[in-house]
Structure 1
Amino acid sequence: MASQWTPFMSIIYLESKDNAKIKHLRGLIEQQSFRKKQKQTVLEGTHLCLSWLQEQRKIISLFTTEVALKHADFEKIIDIYQGAIFVISESLYRDLSTLGTTLACLAVIDLPQSSQAIDFKKDTLILENIQDPGNVGTLLRSAAAANIKQVVCTKGSASLWSPRVLRAGMGAHFSLYTFENIELDMILEQFDIPVFVTSSHHATNLYDQDLTKPCVWILGNEGQGASEYALSHAQAITIPQPGGQESLNVAIAGSICFFEMVRQRQ
């Protein structure tokens, strides 16, 4: 079905990579410091953009190509979005995009601002110095699916609202309360619920734990694991690996923990 174009919507063609709007878009995609300064980020792909709009949230500006403009998936977005659409060349889109070959869709949004405080009695995921955007996004996606609504990131972790983490999260961000750049020693002892940390050494079996009540999960750095502080202030648990591998990918390990919790609560 064709989109219903409104008189409030305009299409603006941008040809130069030196255009101010293109420079602004590139800065948001490539530089965390620029995202922080502008308090904005970029959603990439039609799935993320549509999910954002369906949450009744605002897109500041929308970029696409002439070919994508006529695509059915993009038309679903412009049926909801009310604003200018900036059309760029296919080559410029490929230069800007982090996704490679995909339907052209880049949306600038304001970073969500919340006065919500950390709830120390609620199921919580703590990411301690997890640096890979794919791992961070996958963990947010698994946490949201397991009904963990609160995610805390320490300094050193990948920026939650970077385009790459957003891409890996597939919209999970939009249903979560997130907190970034938190010092672990400032919050951990305030939790009034069990706190678990994954470890491959000196830990008890995940499947021996009672996970039927709210708890905290700490997942540590991909290479070094959790910090000594985390290990000394939480119950270390391990996932049995009868195949004999040294360790699991952190996103896989976290997902296993979350869904053992879900299983016990069914």
Structure 2
Amino acid sequence: MQITSNMRRITSREHPVFKKLFKLQRSSRQRRDDGLALLDGIHLLQSYLASGRIPELLIVSESGGQHAEINQLLGSIGKDFGRADCLMLSDALFNQISLVKTPVGIMTLVRIPRHTRSVDSYEDSFCIALEAIQDPGNLGSILRSAVAAGVKDAFLSSDCADSWSPKTLRAGMGAHFSLRIHEDSDLIQIACQFNGNVIATALAGADNIYHTDLRGPVMFAFGNEGCGVSEELLEVVRERVAIPMPGCAESLNVAAAAAICLFEKIRQENSGESYSQE
């Protein structure tokens, strides 16, 4: 182990710190109340560090402490941040906290970022509005695609899956730290105030996305896996688009649909061709 001067060891599941970590992994209410989340694995920790943030706590299993890559990472953290607070757990205790089938042996306790900029300041942004996305895997995948496409802000309705749950974080693959995530958002108000084109995916009364001008400031709205975007939100968007599907499937997974929409905008922005609607 590279970090030893500030290392604590816990051997009992009755320890209050262990109980807190165990509950954080399983309770969205606990995460909201504490403003904390757990990152499981090396990649999420590396993404967090790359964003310039400092971990609250590093949690390492006994076997993880023998892992060469983890040791190297802990050494770099100690060099950059000084005496990082580090906790060692037995493998049995670590595995009780981790929800990964084969944990690598390191988790990170982090503070959940809070973003308070006014909605009025997003007029030049590329944004997404997510309404009632229920599956955390879908939510994380959308956030990952959004970051890859250059989206700056993600507005989530109050009935979306928890964006800081372990499954969402794993699916996001570090996207959370390159994106401003606004939970419990009033999507109708935000859509009305956004000074750009607000576009929603829909099945009825929608234009072909490939015949729609997506250049400039855009906010895409994506809806619930079963019901799509609500009628209330559809009433305030400026355009409705659909993805042509020549096959026999009735619809696309929302994460797949989001990726297609986001990267069709990128294609149009980078094509260098003059746009004419057909």
Q: TM-score, normalised by structure 2?
A: 0.89
Query: In structure 1, what is the equivalent of residue 275 of structure 2?
Result: none
Cα deviation digits, residues 122-180 of structure 1 (max 9, x gap): 11100001011111111011000000111100110012222221111111111111111
Is 1:66 aligned to 2:69, yes or no?
A: no
Query: For 2:189, which of 175, 186, 190 is the aligned residue?
Result: 186
The alpha carbon displacement at 1:6 in A equals 5.6
- Name the SS for the 1:115 alignment partner: coil
8 Å Cα contact 1:206/1:237 also seen in 2? yes
Query: For 2:73, which of 77, 86, 104 is the aligned residue?
Result: 77
8 Å Cα contact 2:223/2:229 also seen in 1? yes
- Name the SS for the 1:159 alignment partner: coil
Moved over 6 A (4+): none
Cα deviation digits, residues 95-135 of structure 1 (max 9, x gap): 22122113011111111133333313311100001011111
The CA distance in 1 between the partners of 2:21 and 2:195, in whole Å, is 43
The CA distance in 2 between the partners of 1:166 and 1:97, in whole Å, is 13
8 Å Cα contact 1:53/1:80 also seen in 2? no
Letter of the aligned partner of 2:202 in structure 1?
S
Is 1:52 aligned to 2:52, yes or no?
A: no
Letter of the aligned partner of 2:231 in structure 1?
E
Letter of the aligned partner of 1:104 in structure 2?
G
8 Å Cα contact 1:153/1:179 also seen in 2? yes
Letter of the aligned partner of 1:19 in structure 2?
H
Residue-pair matches, total: 262
Query: In structure 1, what is the equivalent of residue 273 of structure 2?
Result: none
Q: CA RMSD in A?
A: 1.6
The CA distance in 2 between the partners of 1:6 and 1:142, in whole Å, is 35
The alpha carbon displacement at 1:229 in A equals 1.3
The alpha carbon displacement at 1:263 in A equals 0.7
Deviation larger for 202-211 or 159-168:
159-168
Letter of the aligned partner of 1:202 in structure 2?
G
Query: For 1:249, which of 243, 250, 253 is the aligned residue?
Result: 253
Matches within 5 A, 1:101-180: 101-118=102-119, 119-180=122-183
- Name the SS for the 2:105 alignment partner: coil
- Name the SS for the 1:218 alignment partner: strand
The CA distance in 1 between the partners of 2:212 and 2:67, in whole Å, is 50
Q: TM-score, normalised by structure 1?
A: 0.93
Letter of the aligned partner of 2:135 in structure 1?
D
> What percentage of aligned pairs have identical amino acids?
34
The CA distance in 1 between the partners of 2:118 and 2:165, in whole Å, is 22
Is 1:217 aligned to 2:220, yes or no?
A: yes
The CA distance in 2 between the partners of 1:76 and 1:219, in whole Å, is 41
- Name the SS for the 1:173 alignment partner: helix
Letter of the aligned partner of 1:36 in structure 2?
R
Is 1:265 aligned to 2:269, yes or no?
A: yes
